Structure 1
Amino acid sequence: MRPRLVFVHGVGGPRDATAELAAWTDALASGMRKAGHCDVAAALSDGTVDRAFVHYGDLFRPAQAQGGAVEIQDDASAEILLELLDEMLAGLSDPLPEAPTAEQDRYRAKILAHARAQTAPRPQEQGAMAAVRRALDVATTVLSAPLFRGLGQWAAPKLMVRDLGQVARYLARRESDGTGRALDVGIRGRVARELALGATVLVAHSLGTVVSWETLHERPSPVRLLVTLGSPLGMRTVVWPRLVPRPPCTPEQVGAWLNFFDPDDPVAVRPRLEDDFGPNSARIRPESRRVDSVGLWVHPAVLYLAQPGVAGPVAEALRTALAGER
């Protein structure tokens, strides 16, 4: 059986799975070449390594939804969304090296304090839509402040709330995927189908790291290397307490787990997962490694994949599997 590389995406709008697979593969191959693994980079494109891209974004989009719509309907998801925003803002509270003056630091602290205050309940407003309005107010506050341009993938508050709302909707575990199953169950089912076909290396990004971690526990599958990129798994207020199963630990059949984070990634709050995840029976724990990308918005998967520090270990795992094939 050929070595198999499986990608799992995170939040966002509609995706072309074929185009995404090509883009993620190209970025990873670029990183491999930078790391000196040109032979494995070539194997990605010539079919020697089987590749798959797990797509589940369509499950978040009810048929009647319009592009960019905020699709939260239940109170539980709305409250999780506000908690998520608050924890992200708390993670942004450290002074930035590019904001060296005391005046800029005071301005930054003032904006953050105002934004976090906006997450608080308003006695005169109840229900999911009121909570979504508060979330939109928070997003408007931070996206309009120049010192938070690092959140710039979200060109509008509505897009920021929509994307973060997907995390909330998954963790709420109350919504249907349109087929009678719970939304989170349907999403994990997409990942489980690919894992059933085998995965030498599983690379997951953002919300996809939560989905993949839970799927590997729910339906154990042998994975030589699990790679998590820009993961919110360590968010102690929102994500970590809601993970299933508990207490959180490395999935049983994972042979190694590398977790990569960029310190400027607003989604990777509390990125050192070894502090919060126990070992499996083989004593495998997550190993967190820092990368540094160039640009204002460092969360995209392709930026992580193009890093030689990320692509190198993936190449080494695939090379070992290729050697075993021979």
Structure 2
Amino acid sequence: MAEILPTLTRGDLCDVTFANYSDLFNRPGSQGQSAEEFDEHAVTVMTELLDAVLEELSEQFPMENRSQEALVVRDARFQLDAVVEQRQTQGLGAIGRRLVGITTTMLRLPGVRRSAQWMNGQALFFQLAQVGRYLDRRSKKAKVGEAVRARVLDGLDHARPLVVVSHSLGTAVAYEALHEYEGTVSLWVTLGSPLALGAVVLDRLVPRPAVCPENVAAWLNFWDRDDVVAGRPHLAKWISPNSDGVKAVTERVDSSGIWTHTATKYLEHAAVARPVIEALQP
């Protein structure tokens, strides 16, 4: 592998494109985001997403262990159940504030609290909320997802084989974009993917029922047991293979440190980086 790295970093081996679409989630003229701006649809998606994340966390930190982490998850679950039960009697602004309270509680988990990625519960809340905004299919709202996929596909050469490395929300974007892409994808890698978070993501994808894109020749999915965003390794079971029999091949990685969701944490593993480099060789 060492002899391949210089040609990769110099750009001799391939062209590298990074699709940055974060600006597309900023509302024009907005001076900041507020949970009180959420409508009924956004609240529904966010409630379902938090429910799925807390379900994953409860598997990692079962209550019978009586650990500090398990107590935090139980506290967040209690708050979410209260929001669901009292939803009809509250205004959307109040619900939004209470959902931010749940993500603030989640920051008490040691690995999340000490991460510089999310400085407060509102920052975590709005990063999770991007999933719902991307998957919103209602008329003008759907234009966000369309613009994101266009940004991803822009400038790609259909005549050349493509290797795709996608992370977090980007795995849902890649799923839909690759179904639109007309070229060959020699390898698709998904890292920290929420694709397997049940109905909240999987059942909102297009096309559905979910199926591996036809042009994908190999799909590798990596997840870390301490990644609060990634679903358990259900992709091979819940997303059907394409007509060539290609489906997700899932492998668990165990990262060191206090926060394991970042793409760089995943790419530090040889098991993740090696197949990408091998796929790029002529």
TM-score of the two chains, using structure 1 as the length reference = 0.77
Change (3 A) 1:275 1:130: same
1:186 aligns with 2:147: yes
Match of 2:247 in 1: 285
- 1:282 is displaced (CA, Å) by 0.9
The answer to whether the 8 A contact 1:77-1:171 is kept is: no
1:65 aligns with 2:30: yes
Match of 2:280 in 1: 318
Match of 1:40 in 2: 4
Separation in 2 of the partners of 1:188 and 1:289? Answer: 27
Separation in 1 of the partners of 2:18 and 2:171? Answer: 14
- 1:175 is displaced (CA, Å) by 6.9
Pick 1 or 2: higher relative contact order, CA cutoff 8 A, min separation 6.
1
Change (3 A) 1:303 1:68: farther
The answer to whether the 8 A contact 1:116-1:138 is kept is: yes
Separation in 2 of the partners of 1:145 and 1:262? Answer: 16
In structure 1, stretches of 5+ residues that fail to align are: 1-36
Change (3 A) 1:265 1:150: farther
Match of 2:210 in 1: 248
Separation in 2 of the partners of 1:290 and 1:84? Answer: 22
Match of 1:81 in 2: 46
The answer to whether the 8 A contact 1:140-1:157 is kept is: yes
The answer to whether the 8 A contact 1:78-1:168 is kept is: no
The answer to whether the 8 A contact 1:143-1:152 is kept is: no
Query: Deviations along 1:241-261, whole A, 9 cap, x unmatched?
Result: 111111111100101000011
- 1:59 is displaced (CA, Å) by 0.6
- 1:72 is displaced (CA, Å) by 5.1
Separation in 2 of the partners of 1:259 and 1:272? Answer: 10
Structure 1 residues 192-231: aligned runs within 5 Å: 192-196=153-157, 198-231=160-193
User: Residue type matched to 2:229 in 1?
Assistant: V
Separation in 1 of the partners of 2:17 and 2:80? Answer: 40
Query: Deviations along 1:261-309, whole A, 9 cap, x unmatched?
Result: 1111111113331011111111111101111111121000111112111
Separation in 1 of the partners of 2:29 and 2:58? Answer: 38
User: Residue type matched to 1:228 in 2?
Assistant: T
Match of 2:21 in 1: 56
- How many residues end up aligned between the 2 structures? 279
RMSD: 2.6
- 3-state DSSP class of the match of 1:53? coil
User: Residue type matched to 1:185 in 2?
Assistant: E
The answer to whether the 8 A contact 2:36-2:94 is kept is: no
Match of 2:101 in 1: 137
- 1:139 is displaced (CA, Å) by 1.2
Change (3 A) 1:119 1:125: closer
Match of 2:259 in 1: 297
- 1:103 is displaced (CA, Å) by 5.7
The answer to whether the 8 A contact 1:72-1:165 is kept is: no
TM-score of the two chains, using structure 2 as the length reference = 0.89
User: Residue type matched to 1:63 in 2?
Assistant: P
Change (3 A) 1:117 1:152: farther
Larger CA deviation: 45-54 vs 105-114: 105-114
Structure 1 runs of 4+ aligned residues shifted over 6 Å read: none
In structure 2, stretches of 5+ residues that fail to align are: none
Separation in 1 of the partners of 2:70 and 2:152? Answer: 45
Match of 2:80 in 1: 116
Q: Percent identity?
A: 39
Match of 1:93 in 2: 58
Change (3 A) 1:111 1:68: same
User: Residue type matched to 1:52 in 2?
Assistant: T
Change (3 A) 1:292 1:190: same
